[in-house]
Structure formats: C-alpha cells, structure tokens
Chains A and B, each alone.
Chain A
Amino acid sequence: MTTKDTGIYIHIPFCAKKCAYCDFYSEPYRKNTVEDYVNAVIRNVKAYSDKSCVADTVYFGGGTPSLLSPEQVGKILREISDSFILPDNAEITLETNPNTVDFRKLSAYRGAGINRISIGVQSMIDTELRFLSRKHTAERAEKAVTDAYNAGFENISCDVMIALPEQSPESLTYTLEKITALPVRHISGYILKIEHGTPFDTESIKNIIPDDDTTADLYIKMVDFLKKKGFLQYEVSNFAVSGFESRHNCRYWKCLDYIGIGASAHSCHKGKRFRVERDLQEFIENPVQKTIITDDNPCGFEEYAMLRLRLSEGLNVNDFPEHKSGLLKKIPELVKSGYINYDGEYISLTPEGFLVSNSVIEYLVF
C-alpha cells in the first residue's frame, strides 16, 4: 500500500519542568540525551522514507519541542525533505513554551523551516498561570507572541485553558481579549481535565475547579467571544481565522495518514494504527522505533464517526451508506435538543453538542 500524502508528527519528550496537570510523556531535559534523541528521530524518518509521498504537514509536539535548538530542528526537517516530498506550502508546526523562546531563537526556527508556531500561553492572568505551575507570566507570553510575529511567523496559535479555579466569564474574557489583540490566527481552548495520576489528581484540586455547569458556561462564552473576534470553531477545542485551521490536526479527525516518530508517538499509517512505548532510552537505542499495533483495521464506522464529529464540518451521512438509516432515525431528537445541526448531508455538532460530544457520539453510533 502506498500513500500519496502524510503528516509527520515528531514527539519531543523533554520538559524543563513538568506541569502539574499534564500526563503526556516527558522526561527531564538533558543536553546529551536530546542530541541522541534527535539522531534517533532522523534514523526513523529515514526508515519511513517514501520519496513518492508528500509530507503535507510536520508537527513537533511534546513535551517541549522548543527545547530543541533551531539547528536540531533544521537537521530533522532536512531529513524529512530528503526522505519525502516536502512541498513549499507544507504546514510545519513547532510547539513552544513562552519561557524557552525569544526573538533570536524564533527567527532561527523560522529560518530552519518552521512556518507555524504554537505557543502554550494557557492564560493571561498570572495567578491562573501559577495555579497551572507554568513558569511564565502573562507578560512573557505576550512577548513570545510578538517575538514570533516579528520573527516572521504569520501563522501563530495560542493554547488557552478553561475551567480553572475561580475562573469567571470575565477573567476568561480578559485572557481571550488579550490574546486576540495579538497577531494570532489560531486558538486552542482546552477544558482542564484532571488526569489520573497527575499531581492535580487530588480531592482538594477537584473541589476548587468549576463544576460541569460552570465549565459549560465558560466554554460557550469562549466560543461566542472568539466568533465575534473572527475565530471560527472548527473542532471541539480549536478556533481559527478562516484559512488558518491546523492542517496537521485535521488529519487526525479525518482518518488521514500520519506517521508518529518518537517515544509515545502514535501513527495511523498504511492502514494501521500503531504506537511507540513511552520509553526514551529504548527509542534512542533501537535502530528503528519498535511499534505496537493498536488497530490493524482502523477507521471503521464508529471510529470514523467519532473523529469526524469532533469537527464542525461534521459527518457526512452518506460516508457509510449502511449506517445512514440508523443515523437518520436519531437526528431529530438531537436537533430538537440543540446538540446538532443537519443540512440533509452533514451532521455537525453545535457548541452545546460539543460539550456533551461523548454522549452525542455514543447516542448516534450505538
């Protein structure tokens, strides 16, 4: 099986300091390890090499990818360019932490080929940032955005977190007001989720975060506010000025091909889903990353619907003709409750529907 195009995800599992809410895989930053890791990434890019395949997107995620030097990022991108067709209009994203970047470094990333920068702002209120155990301040975050813009990035995304303790519609609006005043084209707004086993997984934290109703109100507030500012919701947690939707992330929701490289990375490639162990050393030592198949026949109806329905575009009822009548039966009740819109072809969730999307999807597909 050959693939005409793919997305390449590079996981960079290093953090200077782990955030208390985060359960993604990361290890403390060590200079030599990072160099070994970068070399292992390059070996793996080679291993997946397909000179007839277009690498439409590249995404450096983490962890904290901005702990890589611009040179290291450049090396990896050169290898991708050698092993795949990397077109000029490829979307190449690097996630950054405001504390780890400045104008010079950002300019160097731009020079190395990065054309989209995603900044972990989270909030523009310092008390909220401290609660999240983020090391940066609102001021620093603002500077990271302007530095990126001045360094030549037109496609800048910021992460924002909602459902923080004592967050009010007003304080959320303040954060969003500040961010949308900056040269930002894309915003990811995530609801804080207490992950099992993280430092936040305690009763005292759970007691101070907003309840479901308050959270839902904040979410709707965010959707409405961003819409007014020209950021349209295109996915459960993602908003963009038209034309700046994340092409890479959309590959996930559309069941398109992507190759994940690095410890804990996930792939959907050549008709299989697979993952790599959360083990940094093993990844560095193996000539080629060891993959574990999680699904050898992905993108069946349930999975496809579940992913598609995360997008505002929604699910085309004709995509799985055998399920069409089942879906049609359930549409009226959901439309009546305001959870979905249906235009005769696409089922698309409304913001209220996104909020309860697990249940809406379950209701639709089972």
Chain B
Amino acid sequence: MITRIIVAFGAVVAIVVAAWMGGSVPGLQPLFGVVLPYVAFAIFLIGFIAKVVKWAKSPVPFRIPTTAGQQITLPWIKWAKIENPSTTGGVITRMFLEICCFRSLFRNMRSDLRSGWIIHHPTKWLWLLALGFHYSFLIIALRHMRLFVQPVPGFVETLDAVDGMFQIGIPPIYLTDLIILLAVSGLLIRRLCLPKMRFMSLVADYFPLFLILGIVISGLLMRFVYRVDITAVKALANGIASFHPVVPKGIGTIFFVHVALVSTLLAYFPFSKLMHMGGVFMSPTRNLANTSRMEYHENPWRKPPKFHPYEEYEDMYREYMKEAGLPLERE
C-alpha cells in the first residue's frame, strides 16, 4: 500500500522537476508556458464532454431514487418534499443541496464498537474538509480570471477584495489560500493515516491530492517567496486567452512549475475520478423524482417478459384446483 503513495508522490515530483528544468531554459518556455496549457485545456474540454456524452448514451431504464424521507402519500401525512422529492422543483432543490452543500456527506455517521454496543455518532470532518476544499478551489479559479480577462470583470474584483480582506502579510494572503492548504492537507492526512482509508485508496486517489497540493504550494511560492513578475504573467495569460500567445522574459521558473501542474490536472481530469464533478449531476439515485407509482417510466430496451401464463398453470394443476373447489377457466 505504501507503493501506491510513493508512486503518486513520485509522479508529482517528476512533473515538478521536469517543469523546473524545462522552465529554466528560455527556449523551452513556449512549450511549457503556451503549448502545454493549450493542449491540456483542449484535452480537458473534449475529454469532459466526451465522457458526459458517453454516460448520457446509456439510458436510465428504471426510476431508482434513494428515498431519504417520507414519501408523498395520504394528504394528512407530512411529506419530505426535498429528501424524497416527487416534483421537478423538489428534485432541483435536492440536487442543489447535494451539489452545493454536500447534503449526503453532511449526514455522515461514524460507527464504532464499544463494549458490546455499536455506537453511531455524527461526524462532520469529511464534510467540512470537502466543502472547504471545493469552495476555495472554485474561488481561487475564479480569482485567476483577473489574469486572463481585460478589463477584469466586476465580480472577480469583488471576490478578490473579499477574499483578501484580512490584509495579513505583504502581499496579503487570501483566505481561500489558507483554507485550501488546510483542507487538502487534511484530506491527505486522513487518507494516509486512517487504516480503512489506506486500505481502499489507490494511486488514483493520492495522485490528485499530491498534484493539487503541488499547485497550491507552487502558487504560494510564486506570490510570497520567488515573487514572479506579475505583469509578465498577465501578459502571457492574456495572450493565451486572446489566442495571441507571447512569452515575456523573466517570469521566473516557479511559474512554469505551477502551469505544468495545473495542465496535468486538466489533462488528467476526464480520465479520472475527478469526473465526479460531472457525474454527480447525472446520478440516477439522486436526480430522479420519486413518482414511480404515479407516473409511467419507460425503459427503452424493455422486452415483453416470457412468463408462465395462467392457462398453462391451470392445465398443470387442473385436478388439484378442481378438487379444492377453485374456479377454473376450462373444466
């Protein structure tokens, strides 16, 4: 199991080393600063869409929501409209809570055995770490828009201002930078230290964590330690976004490490578990209304069943049935 951790960590280190070496050779900078992000983004976009299309091609033959509350039933029984939705509005709300608030993780319980009793108690750690990680990642990604778009959109300015409002240090550290660092580390430590987690974890689980940690650290290093030339970074990012790429001189090698790690994440995304981002929208146990007895749900590949018809049954057991006084179709 240690092998899996070493392989994942080694892969990220290899990317860092390659980018560091490549990025410090001026002739290779266009490759690492321009070609790589373009290719990675194209793989991400096409791969993501292709995967979603591939999923969508498989039908949903049965209506199988996991019902997490009281069904719609007799009018005087209070119905759990969101936890067990039977309307489109209810499903949308349920999906919103699932996707934006991680509803199911919030439900998490820990079960332990203690002196003859199985104890279940709520645990919110995973929920908290996951929420912290995903939201700070989202905000950080949006904040990066300021590098790509001129003029900077208003909401990005606002986000930037709010995120940086604590004004700690120079340049001020963003709140989300701290949160993501803590959350990713937390998720990683959890996976490394809990025996159950270590047992189930694959290279594909450690790799994205190390990769994202690498992205966060390289980003922080760029801002606080190596102090890359932000004007040059903006010029490069703007160039990429407007399809007129340029590689200004003197950006600093750490920048290319950051870009290489982000590019790896993008290119890796569609082929990995990270596709849960798309999949969560399409999960049939969550996105279907519990209307199974109320409305007909069609299965596109349904075939008429071969069953034992009544006539054959009666033929088989006619004598018994007659004797028992059961009504018969044919005497």
Q: Say whether A and B bind each other.
A: no
